[in-house]
Amino acid sequence: MSDAALYGVADEPAAAALARTIRHRVAASGTSFYWAMRLLPEARRNAMYAIYAWCREVDDIADDERPAADKLAALGRWREEIDAIYAGQPRLPVSRALSQPVLRYQLRRADFLAVVDGMEMDAREAIRAPHLATLDLYCGRVAAAVGHLSVHVFGDASDAAHRVADSLGRALQLTNVLRDLDEDAGRGRLYLPREILDAHGIGGADPATVLRHPALPAACRALAAIAEDHFTESARAMAQCRRRAMRPAAVMGAVYRATLAEVVRRGWREPRTRVSLSKPRKLWLALRYGLV
C-alpha cells in the first residue's frame, strides 16, 4: 500500500512527508513502544505510529501549563476531530494518518474517546492520592483503551486479546506511576492510591510530603504487587491469542515488567533516579519475545 493510500492523502510526496514526520516523532521519543512496533509489517507499523502520535497530541495537552479551561477546550476540539475522522473528513495531519487505519482495522471510536476522557481527568485538576477505583478508571482510559486500539492493528481482536489490553494496559500504566513519582510530583500530581497510603500510615496528598515519608517504599511495593498481578493476568490471556499477532504486546510486557523489577530493586528512597532499561537490553527482550 502506498503512503498516499495509507494516510488518506491524495498527493504522494505529501503523504510520504507525513509518514516520515510521524515515524521520526515516535523514534525521537525514546519510547519502548518503538522497539515493539518495529516487529509489525509496514502498514500495521505505520498505523501504530499514527496511534502513538495521536496519543502524544492529547497527552501534551493534558500536561500543558495552560489553565484547565483552555486544556479542556483543546481536548474538546479533539473530540470533534475524532468525529471528523469517522465521518471521512479528517482535518489535521495526525487525523489524516489515522483515517485509513480506522477503516482498515476497524478501530473503535469509543476507545479514542476513552483516551480523551482520561486526559481530561489530568487536565481538569492535578490528580492526588485517588481512590483505587478512580486510579483503575484512569488506567483503563489512558492505557487500556490504547491497548484496545492496538490489538485490532496487531491482527487479533478476539475477547482474549481485549483482556490482554485491559490487564497489560493497567500494568504498564502502574509501572509508569511507580517509575515517575518525582516527575509527576513536579506537575503537582500523585497517583499513589489513597487506600494504600492510608494502610501505610501516610496521610495527606501533598506530593512532596508523601514522597519524603519513610513508609513510601512499602506503599510503592504494595502498588507494584497490583501491577504484577496485571502482568500475570495479561500473560494468561495472551496464551489464548494468536501468538504471531501479539508479539508486540509480548515485547511491551517484557520490557515494562523488567522495568518494574528494576524499579522495585532500586526502591524508592532518596535520591531517586528514573529507571530506564538500556538499548541493548530492550533489543534483547525484543528478540527474545518478538521472534518466538
Residue among 21, 127, 115 at smallest CA distance from 75: 115
141-150 burial code (b ≥16 CB/10 A, e <16): bbbbbbbbbb
Q: Which of 10-19, 61-70, 273-282 has the lowest mean pLDDT?
A: 10-19
Please state, in angstroms and rounded to a whole number, the distance separating the CA atoms of residues 106 and 158.
13
pTM of the model: 0.90
Residue among 153, 9, 194, 11 at smallest CA distance from 91: 9
Please state, in angstroms and rounded to a whole number, the distance separating the CA atoms of residues 118 and 24.
26
User: pLDDT (tens digit, 9 = 90+) per residue, 30-71?
Assistant: 566 776 788 899 999 999 999 999 999 999 999 999 999 999
Q: What share of the chain in percent tops pLDDT 90?
A: 77
Q: In 66-144, which ranges are continuous DSSP H helix? A: 68-86, 93-104, 109-124, 132-139
Residue 105: C-alpha distances to residues 26, 37, 48, 101, 147 (Å): 20, 16, 11, 6, 14
Residue 279 CB coordination number (10 Å):
10
Q: Please give the average per-residue pLDDT across 179-194, as a whole number.
A: 96
> What grid cell was written down for 89?
473528513
User: pLDDT (tens digit, 9 = 90+) per residue, 221-260?
Assistant: 999 999 999 999 999 999 999 999 999 999 999 999 999 9
User: pLDDT (tens digit, 9 = 90+) per residue, 96-145?
Assistant: 999 999 999 999 999 999 999 999 999 999 999 999 999 999 999 999 99
Residue 273: its pLDDT value, please? 80
Please state, in angstroms and rounded to a whole number, the distance separating the CA atoms of residues 41 and 75.
31
